[in-house]
Structure 1
Amino acid sequence: MSEIIEVQARKTLQNITPYPPGKPIWELQSEQGLSKVVKLASNENPLGPSPKALEAIVCSLSDIHRYPDSSTSNLRQLIAVKLGMGADNFIISNGGDELITLVSEAFLEPGDEIIVPSPSFSEYEFGAHLMGANIVTVPLGEIYSFDIDAIVNAVTEQTKMICICSPNNPTGTYLSKSVLHHLLDVLPKHILVLFDAAYSQYADADDYTDGLEFVRAGYPIVVLQTFSKIYGLAGLRVGFGAAPESIIQQILKVKEPFNVNTLAQAAAAAALHDVEHVHLSLQINRQGKNQLYLSFRELRLPFIESMSNFVLVELGPDAKSIYEQLLTKGIIVRYGGLWKLPHHIRVSVGTEEENSTFIQRLSEILKLT
C-alpha cells in the first residue's frame, strides 16, 4: 500500500518551471534513428574546447581524489591579472547559472522586485522566484533594443535588482557603454545591477562595454562571465562574477564549498590564455554569421544582426512546425516559444558545413510550406 505524501513544498515553487535545455544530440538520434545530427541550439562553440584546456585536464586527472580548491585561488588570481583587478573582486561559480542563483540568494527577499527586460534569459526569473521576489518585465523596444526610460520608470521602492543581458539572449542586441553608464548614474544606489556579459567576447561594436569598467569604478554592479561560450567549456560548468569587494563578500556567504570541480578550474585557467583558440573562435563566428545572414536574405527571412554567436530569425506563424520538421531532418535549433516569440527560432552559429546543412534543410521545408 502506497503512502499519501502530505509534505508541502514552498508556495513560491508554484511559480517555478524547470529550465528546458536544448535537446541533446543523442536523444534526437534515438528518437529519429539518425546517424548524424547538427546541433545549433545551445550557443556552444563549434570549434570545440580550448586545446590547452584539454591538456590541463589530463595533467590534473591524478589529483581528482582530492577535494578542489574551495576558494579557487589560482583561477581568481589569473583572471584578476588578466582583467587588471584584485582577486577579491571575483567569485568563481558552477557556470553562470549558479552565479545568478547566488546573487539572488544573497540580495533578494520576499516582496523585493527585480526588473528584467523581455525577452531575455529565463534564469533571472528563476532566481527571483526561488527567493519569493516579484518579477517586473519591461519589453524591449524597437528591433529589440533596450528601452532604458521604460526600465527607469519601472523602478519602485521595492526594486532591489535589475538584470541586463548584453549581448542579449535570444536577440543578440546590446546595451551601449554610454547608456549603461547613464543607467547606473540615475538608479538609486541600493539597486544592484546584474550585468550578464556571457557573450561579451563576441561583441565587436565600438560602443559596447562588458561592464567591467563600472566594477572598477565602484558601482553596485555584478558582471557575469562564463567559460561555456567562446572558451568551449560548457560541459565543465565554470563561470565567474566580478563586482566591488563588498558585494563579493556577501555572495560568498551563500556559496557552497567546492562548487567548482578540480578539472573545471584547471581547464578554465588554461583556456583563459589560449589566445589562438579565442581568435579562431571569433573568426569562425564572424564567417558563420555572415553565411547565415546571406542565406536568410536570399530566403527573405527577417532576422536581427547579432553581437553574439547566435541569430534570431523570424519564420512566421509556421515557426513551430518548421522547427519540428527540422528535428526530423537532424537539425536542432531553439524554438522561440520559450521567450514568447512563437514566430521565431534562434540559430547558434556553427561551422561552415553545419550552417550549410541547416540552410539546405530549412530551404527544403520552406519550399513545401
Structure 2
Amino acid sequence: MIDEIQVQGRKILQQMKPYSPGKPIWEVQQELGIDYVVKLASNENPLGPSPKALEALAAFLPELNRYPDAGAKLLNQALAAQLNLQPQQLIVTNGGDELITLVAETFLEAGDEIVVPSPTFSEYEFGATLMGASTVSVPLNDDYSYDISAILSSVTERTKLVCICSPNNPTGTYLGKEDLKRLLDALPKRVLVLFDAAYTHFASAEDYTDGLEFVRAGYPIIVLQTFSKIYGLAGIRVGFGAASVELVSQIYKVKEPFNVNALAQVGAAAAIADKEHVDKSRKLNAAGREQLYGAFRRFGLRYTESMANFILVELGPDAQTIYERLMQEGVIVRYGVGWGLPGHVRISVGTQEENAFLIEKLGGILAKDGQ
C-alpha cells in the first residue's frame, strides 16, 4: 500500500477563499425533485445568447480541430474599431475573472496592498491573496455610494492597485465620471486602477462612465468588460481589458498562449455587432427592474436602486430562511452572507414571467410570515 501523500501546497492557500457560484438549475431540480426552476442568482441574460453569435458559432464548429488564435486578433480588431482604441490597447481573456488574475500576477508581489471598496466582487481579494498581497477594504457609504476621500486615505506606500466595480456587484450602485476623475487625479501615478465595468451596458445614469475615456486620455487605468452579461455568452467565457499599450504589453507576459477558446472568439466577434440583441436586453432589463421595484414596495421591502441587471434587497434577520424557502419553491437567488450582508439577497432581473414567478413566491412566503 502506498504511504499517505505528504505533498503540501503553498502556505498562502490556507488564506484562500474559493469563489462560490450560484447553484445551476439542474442541481436544484435534482435535489428538490421539482421541474420548474427560475434562476435569478448569477446575473445572466434571460434573453439568452446573441442570435448572431449563435449563427457564427454553428458555422465555426467544423474548425474545432485547429488551435485558437493566441492573440484573438480578429476579436481584438473588432473591439478596437468599436471602442476607438488601438488593438495594442486591448487584451482578450477567458472571462473577466481571468483578467483580474492576470492583473494580480503582473503587478502584485508579496507585501503589496490593494484597496477595495466593500462590499464588492470577491475576485479582487482572491487575486491579491494568491500573490501574497493584502487587501485593504474601504466601506461604502450607507447608501452604498463610493467614498472617494476614504479610498484615498487608505492608500499607502505599499498600495499597488485600487479596484472599482461600477456598476458595483452586489449593490448596483456606480461611480460617476467626475468622482472617477477626482480619484485618478489624486492617486499616485504608480497606483493602477482596475475599473470593472462588467455591467456597463445596463447603466443609464447621465453621469455614468465606462472608464474608457480615461484609457484614451492616458491615465493608469485598466477597464474590464465581459461578454457574459448583455451579450449572453457566459457559458463560453470571454472578456477583455483595455489600457495603455505599456500596461497591456506587461500583462501579455503572464497570459497563457491559448487562453480564449476559438468558439469564444468567434461568438464574441459576432455578438458585438448584434445591436438589436443589445437593445432588447437593455429594454427588458429596465422594464424588469421597475417590475421588481414595484413588488418590493408593495411588500414593504427596502432595496437599492440599481444600474445593473440585479437588485440588492434587504430581507432582515430572516433573509437566509427566505432565501432557502424560495429555493424550495423553485426560485434561485443569491444570499448576501458572502458579501457580509446576511440580511440581504441579490436578485437578478429575469424575463417578465420569471420576475412574476419570483414575486408570487416571495409574496406568499412573506404573507405566511406576517410581513
Same fold (TM over 0.5): yes
Residue 18 of structure 1 and its aligned partner are, at CA, apart by 1.1
C-alpha distance in 2, partners of 1:266/1:29? 33
* CA shift digits 1:146-198 (9 cap, x unpaired): 01100000000000000000000000000000000010000000000000000
Quote the residue 2:312 is aligned against: 312
Residue 17 of structure 1 and its aligned partner are, at CA, apart by 1.4
Quote the residue 1:274 is aligned against: 274
**Secondary structure class of the residue paired with 1:240:** strand
Quote the residue 1:190 is aligned against: 190
Quote the residue 1:90 is aligned against: 90
C-alpha distance in 1, partners of 2:201/2:263? 23
Residue 104 of structure 1 and its aligned partner are, at CA, apart by 0.3
Quote the residue 1:241 is aligned against: 241
Quote the residue 1:221 is aligned against: 221
C-alpha distance in 1, partners of 2:193/2:5? 41
* CA shift digits 1:255-303 (9 cap, x unpaired): 0011111111000000001000000000100100000000000000000
* CA shift digits 1:204-249 (9 cap, x unpaired): 1000000000000111100000000000000000000000000000
The one-letter code sitting in structure 1 at the alignment partner of 2:211 is G
C-alpha distance in 2, partners of 1:306/1:129? 29
C-alpha distance in 2, partners of 1:216/1:243? 8
C-alpha distance in 2, partners of 1:338/1:355? 24
Residue 2 of structure 1 and its aligned partner are, at CA, apart by 4.8
* CA shift digits 1:90-141 (9 cap, x unpaired): 0000000000000000000000000011000000001001100001000001
Quote the residue 1:260 is aligned against: 260
Matched length:
369
**Secondary structure class of the residue paired with 1:160:** strand
Quote the residue 1:348 is aligned against: 348
Quote the residue 1:74 is aligned against: 74
Residue 142 of structure 1 and its aligned partner are, at CA, apart by 2.3
C-alpha distance in 1, partners of 2:185/2:143? 25
* TM-score, length-scaled by structure 1: 0.99
The one-letter code sitting in structure 1 at the alignment partner of 2:3 is E
C-alpha distance in 2, partners of 1:118/1:12? 22
Residue 9 of structure 1 and its aligned partner are, at CA, apart by 1.1
**Secondary structure class of the residue paired with 1:312:** strand
**Secondary structure class of the residue paired with 1:115:** strand
**Secondary structure class of the residue paired with 2:99:** helix
- Identical residues among aligned pairs (%): 64
Equivalent runs, 1:32-51 vs 2, <5 Å: 32-51=32-51
- Flag as ranges the 4+ runs of structure 1 deviating above 3 A: none
Quote the residue 1:210 is aligned against: 210
The one-letter code sitting in structure 1 at the alignment partner of 2:162 is I
Please tell me whether residue 132 in structure 1 is matched to residue 110 in structure 2: no
Closer, same or farther in 2 for the Cα pair 1:317/1:2, shift >3 Å?
farther
Please tell me whether residue 116 in structure 1 is matched to residue 116 in structure 2: yes
The one-letter code sitting in structure 2 at the alignment partner of 1:87 is P
C-alpha distance in 2, partners of 1:142/1:33? 41
In the alignment, structure 1 segments of 5+ residues that lack a partner are none
C-alpha distance in 1, partners of 2:39/2:236? 18
Quote the residue 1:294 is aligned against: 294
C-alpha distance in 2, partners of 1:339/1:3? 41
Quote the residue 1:152 is aligned against: 152
Please tell me whether residue 165 in structure 1 is matched to residue 150 in structure 2: no
C-alpha distance in 2, partners of 1:3/1:22? 38
**Secondary structure class of the residue paired with 1:346:** strand
* CA shift digits 1:22-47 (9 cap, x unpaired): 11000000000011100000000000
C-alpha distance in 2, partners of 1:41/1:242? 28
Quote the residue 2:181 is aligned against: 181
C-alpha distance in 2, partners of 1:139/1:7? 39
* TM-score, length-scaled by structure 2: 0.99
Residue 6 of structure 1 and its aligned partner are, at CA, apart by 1.9
Quote the residue 1:334 is aligned against: 334
C-alpha distance in 1, partners of 2:251/2:173? 29
In the alignment, structure 2 segments of 5+ residues that lack a partner are none
